[in-house]
Amino acid sequence: MSDEIVKAPEGTIVIFVLGGPGSGKGTQCSKIVEDFGFVHLSAGDLLREEQQNPNSKDGDLIKTFMKEGKIVPMEITIKLLSKKIQGSKSNIFLIDGFPRKQDQAMHFDENVVEPSLILFFDCDKEVMKQRLLKRGETSGRIDDNIETIEKRFKVFQEDSLPVIKHYEEIGKVHRIPSNESADECCTIDNGLMDQLDWPYLDHSS
């Protein structure tokens, strides 16, 4: 992959989808994609894909960080996201699980594009833990075990919540309660788009 982080094309719209591990970000993104046709980019999925690429110079490093529940160096994650944005025909992206630290947010804002909206899936820790343990029974993911889960919660509290607070202070965050199951959890619809004065959709459809 290229070592360059490239500015997003003019007119690119990015929605960050944030929340703790197990808050339902990926599941809800699938529903949003189905309803609105946005492109979903999961930072975690991109990193796992890169980790499994035998030709990647970053694969071993990514594996080590993810196994320990740590945040992968931002240059790697932003390069992967930038490459996907550049290679897409779409101009509206849901980016799930990124940024996880304030310096990541600033670096992405300055070098790729500023987000138009942040969706924060707000979920209790115990609910998230049970979801992750259940998923770990079948997922085969190296980070779905109790020790790594606790480390991921600690990282989320210390590093990711300040990112959400930063975006809340500038009026870009929409909180979505997500303790309920995916089917019961309120996500986004045309009513919310109208409420947010969202200019990028045809509300007549």
Query: Collapsing DSSP states into helix, strand and coil, what is residue 69?
Result: coil
Helix 74-86 / helix 43-51 crossing angle, nearest 10 deg? 100
Phi, psi of 93 (to 5 degrees): -125, 135
The answer to whether 64 and 51 are in contact (CB under 8 A) is no
Is 138 annotated to bind a ligand? Reply is no
Torsion 60-53-14-9 (CA) sign: positive
Is 37 annotated to bind a ligand? Reply is no
Is 175 annotated to bind a ligand? Reply is no
Q: In the structure encoding, which two tokens stand for residue 64, read together?
A: 């080590």
CA distances from 81 to 74, 113, 144, 179 (A): 11, 11, 23, 28
Is 84 annotated to bind a ligand? Reply is no
The answer to whether 149 and 43 are in contact (CB under 8 A) is no
Is 93 annotated to bind a ligand? Reply is no
Is 104 annotated to bind a ligand? Reply is yes
Is 11 annotated to bind a ligand? Reply is no
Is 57 annotated to bind a ligand? Reply is no
Is 44 annotated to bind a ligand? Reply is no
Is 69 annotated to bind a ligand? Reply is no
Spatial distance between the Cα atoms of 100 and 43, rounded to a whole number of angstroms:
10
CA distances from 181 to 20, 48, 111, 178 (A): 15, 26, 36, 7
Is 98 annotated to bind a ligand? Reply is yes
Is 22 annotated to bind a ligand? Reply is yes
Is 110 annotated to bind a ligand? Reply is no
Which positions make up the binding site for a ribonucleoside 5'-phosphate? 48, 70-72, 97-100, 104, 141, 152
Which positions make up the binding site? 22-27, 48, 70-72, 97-100, 104, 135, 141, 152, 180
Which positions make up the binding site for ATP? 22-27, 135, 180
